[in-house]
Structure 1
Amino acid sequence: MTTQVLVLNAGSSSLKYRLLDGITGVAEATGSVERIGEESGRLTHSVDGRAHVEERPVADFEDALRSTVEAFRQHGPAIDRDALAAVGHRVVHGGSSFSEPAVVDDRVLATLEDLVPLAPLHNPANLEGLRVARELFPDVPQVAVFDTAFHQTMPEHAYTYAVPVAWRDEHRVRRYGFHGTSYAFVSRRAAEMLGRTVEDTNLIVLHLGNGASAAAIRGGRSIDTSMGFTPLEGLVMGTRSGDIDPAILGHLQRTLGWSLEDIDRALTRESGVLGLSGVNDFRVLEQRREDGDAAAALAFDVFAYRVRKYVGAYYAALGEVHAVVCTGGVGQYSPDVRAAALGGLDRLGIVLDPERNVAVGRKEAATVSADGSDVAVLVVPTNEEWEIARQALAVVGEQDASGGE
């Protein structure tokens, strides 16, 4: 049986894909279709170290996916029924309905349609990708893998907001959490590095990038996470505010006459590091900070301080911590952020080694804590596509073993 999985990530105006082995994680081809629905589109298909690029308008997701299939046909490798074990789809929001990946059928699609109000910017594109892929690959199992599923293990006291019961029961207002596929991959890899089983490992994982979140993970199960009902809550991010006093919304509405849509746009797209410094690329931010830019220095300090606060909170929630794990573009590549967020926590048993912290290679997993540190500090590159492929392969194998269609 083949173990190849085509992983699709359908965004609001883009489609990213990767063909990889769900067991080894080795990718045979990667690509993307950008600017879907705009006047000019860009199609990139990379295989055997060579990128094939085409510039042309891409009308919609069906056009994008058909173009992807054509790129495989022209440049390889084959993705016919015999070559694929499954097509794995990243789906942002599974609500409370999905705690595991799901083979997509009409019932799953109907449930996802019902969840659109919870993720109006992401789930419609995910749904469109699922529908088109089912048409183009009718004989290949389609598997939805949810960003929220990993956090469905949170206890009720962790996911419940102190709001009226009608909000919770009728409008599904609760903490859901995101970045779940990344947390699943990184927590398993971290346990391996520590020489422990996942079930016997407690971790604070920091997924730091343009989107940033933290999670407290006990025995491979999420017990709390910083993102909430939406990905806006929690840490300061590239363009998102993270935690703020909710009364600010009413203040802006009263004093400026802003609509809720105006406020939502500002908090989601114009805040965070961008709102503080004018840039949301951390490489640029750190260079400006080094050059003495006060706004960049403040943005860096606010970002790192918020991470530090969550480390302390999740240490208290877990009681015992075996490692703090840094992943994501900033968590992996910024020794300055790691030093600012985790330095000086010796009393918690977290002791960074300065030389190790700055010596981490671009793509390697590494231990950056000092010898004798009670709590390890690890840098672990995430691989969400491999995690999606692994989960898709597992659920298809379970279905075959149970005699399912």
Structure 2
Amino acid sequence: MRSVFVLNTGSSSVKYRVVDVETAEVAATGVIDRIGEPGSEARDHRSAIAQILNRFAGLRIDAVGHRIVHGGERFVTATVIDDEVERGIEALAPLAPLHNPPGLLGIRAARAALPELAQVAVFDTAFHAALPEAARRYAIDTELADRHGIRRYGFHGTSYRIVSERAAAFLDRPLGELRMIVLHLGNGASAAAIAGGRSIDTSMGMTPLEGLVMGTRSGDIDPAVLLYLQRNAGLDTDQLDVLLNRHSGILGLSGHIDMRGLTDAIDAGEESARRALDIYLHRLRHYIGAYAAVLGGLDALVFTAGVGENSREVRSGAVEGLEFLGLRIDETANAERSGVARRISASDAPVAILVVPTDEELQIARETAAVLAAR
């Protein structure tokens, strides 16, 4: 098996890639967005996938790999999809209501269009499945938590797997001996403490809401705030869900939704934008310090994803004041832009600071091929 059709399905978009797992060469890539909206080229996910297939008719496709955000406690590795697996993914929708239902739409559309091909679900949570109990349990009633599957699951696992492997290769050191913190910073953002290639702590929790400040998500918040807003502001659970997931984070603090808009606003003198960045960076430093302690030391700090790979201001601000941890940045190297892995730490710094591009689609393709080969 060589050629895998990778699908990353959102509520109104389908991102796709056809990739050779042996050479990493991309035969086709693109996105169909605004699905179902007026003027869109696709009325639903099934027609979107039909149009995608028409775009690369004649290309070899050996299997289909799907990105699924939440695997719960059931799906801890990449899994060949059948009707039972479909039902299992659907049952997990309450844990990731913004992500699993669209992923399921993609699965059903692809299985209908390509019934002769094996299809595999690759779960964001799988990389964190073996978190130590002290990291994965919340301090609430154990029986209640176990009955309802309440625990830390973690996300962005597909990215963490490929980025940690690439970081070890760049450093020319065995992954098994490295202690690293990886910061996956995009519109959704999380941190992971990785020791010997295994996740031992991560900032996102039962859902992708916990942890760092994100584009529209609050990250960490005192849970009593929600009770207070219910009792005193009259917000119901649906309104709180919208507040925390769609109207918080950088957007809630500044009115800007992405880091580029935020830094432009800072340059224009907007005080709310400066305050939002300060809060964003404070949370990053909080997690870097905490995870350095969890790891018992640090060999590398790695930035990845859209903000992590492209914002020199965020990288510089994230390590400001952390020289005592061995984190010293080379601002000249930090200002350079490159699409390949690179070191941005000072030459005499004891801890490597790296920028490593992620490639979740390639990792999904590789895991798809591996699970089918094992079968």
TM-score by length of 1: 0.90
Residue 238 (structure 2) pairs with residue 254 (structure 1): no
Cα offset, 1:62, TM superposition: 1.2
Match of 1:368 in 2: 344
Does structure 1 retain, via aligned residues, the 8 Å contact 2:192–2:202? yes
Residue 312 (structure 2) pairs with residue 335 (structure 1): yes
Q: How many residues align?
A: 375
Does structure 1 retain, via aligned residues, the 8 Å contact 2:18–2:61? no
What is the letter of the counterpart of residue 7 of structure 2?
L
Cα offset, 1:266, TM superposition: 0.9
Residue in structure 2 matching 1:390, options 366, 370, 374 = 366
What is the letter of the counterpart of residue 295 of structure 1?
S
Does structure 2 retain, via aligned residues, the 8 Å contact 1:360–1:366? no
Match of 2:322 in 1: 345
Task: Quote the Cα distance in structure 2 between the aligned partners of 1:165 and 1:357.
Answer: 46
Does structure 2 retain, via aligned residues, the 8 Å contact 1:10–1:90? yes
Which is further off, 164-173 or 217-226?
164-173
TM-score by length of 2: 0.97
Does structure 2 retain, via aligned residues, the 8 Å contact 1:344–1:351? no
Task: Quote the Cα distance in structure 2 between the aligned partners of 1:23 and 1:227.
Answer: 32
Match of 2:147 in 1: 170
Equivalent position SS for 1:153: coil
Cα offset, 1:365, TM superposition: 1.4
Task: Quote the Cα distance in structure 1 between the aligned partners of 2:344 and 2:267.
Answer: 23
Task: Quote the Cα distance in structure 2 between the aligned partners of 1:116 and 1:171.
Answer: 13
Match of 2:252 in 1: 275
Cα offset, 1:225, TM superposition: 0.4
Residue 87 (structure 2) pairs with residue 67 (structure 1): no
Does structure 1 retain, via aligned residues, the 8 Å contact 2:342–2:354? yes
Can you list the C-alpha shifts for 1:248-304, whole angstroms capped at 9, x where unaligned?
Answer: 111111111111111110111111011111101211211221222111110111101
Cα offset, 1:371, TM superposition: 1.1
Equivalent position SS for 2:214: coil
Q: Which portions of structure 1, spanning 4 or more consecutive aligned residues, are displaced by more than 4 angstroms? A: none
Cα offset, 1:309, TM superposition: 0.5
Does structure 1 retain, via aligned residues, the 8 Å contact 2:195–2:295? yes
Can you list the C-alpha shifts for 1:59-78, whole angstroms capped at 9, x where unaligned?
Answer: 221111112112222xxxx2
Task: Quote the Cα distance in structure 2 between the aligned partners of 1:232 and 1:26.
Answer: 34
Q: Which runs of 5+ in 2 are unaligned?
A: none
Cα offset, 1:154, TM superposition: 0.6
Cα offset, 1:113, TM superposition: 2.3
Which is further off, 255-264 or 131-140?
131-140
Cα offset, 1:232, TM superposition: 0.8
Task: Quote the Cα distance in structure 1 between the aligned partners of 2:255 and 2:201.
Answer: 31
What is the letter of the counterpart of residue 135 of structure 2?
A
In the TM superposition, what are the counterparts of 1:82-121 in structure 2 within 5 Å?
Answer: 83-121=60-98
Residue 345 (structure 2) pairs with residue 380 (structure 1): no
Q: Which runs of 5+ in 1 are unaligned?
A: 42-55, 400-405
Task: Quote the Cα distance in structure 1 between the aligned partners of 2:228 and 2:367.
Answer: 45
Does structure 1 retain, via aligned residues, the 8 Å contact 2:79–2:122? yes
Cα offset, 1:354, TM superposition: 1.5
Can you list the C-alpha shifts for 1:65-123, whole angstroms capped at 9, x where unaligned?
Answer: 112112222xxxx24xxx22211100011001122101112232222122122122221
Equivalent position SS for 1:373: coil
What is the letter of the counterpart of residue 372 of structure 2?
V
Cα offset, 1:135, TM superposition: 2.2
